[in-house]
Amino acid sequence: MRVMKNINSIVVNLNPEEFKDGSTSIGKLMSSSIDEHAEENYLQELLKDKNKSVTEKSIEIMYHLMKNKIFWNGNKRTAALVPINT
């Protein structure tokens, strides 16, 4: 989780602690608060899964970050870089 926060802080030049902490609405898109504990558990369980290759895990992490938009900004850029570091 720390790696994702650090990468996000680089790609958007923000404080790495800035997960979404409130609901926002942009057009038809609705975004809600992020449960950091649940995100950490998801990541740990995925990384422990011995039935998935490194490639599969990387793709799943990338898709998860892009879909769930856990940061205020730079989610796709962060998602593209995180698998390289996990």
pLDDT digits 0-9 by tens, 15-33: 554 556 655 554 444 456 7
Provide the residue ranges of all domains of the chain, joining segments of one domain with +: 1-81
Give the model confidence (pLDDT) of 30-79 as tens digits: 456 788 899 999 999 998 999 999 889 989 998 998 888 888 788 888 88
Rounded Cα gap, residues 15 and 55, in angstroms: 29
Rounded Cα gap, residues 69 and 76, in angstroms: 8
Query: Is this prediction's pTM over 0.75?
Result: no
Q: Where are the alpha helices (DSSP H) in the chain?
A: 2-12, 36-48, 54-68, 75-85
Two structure tokens written together for 22:
């409130």
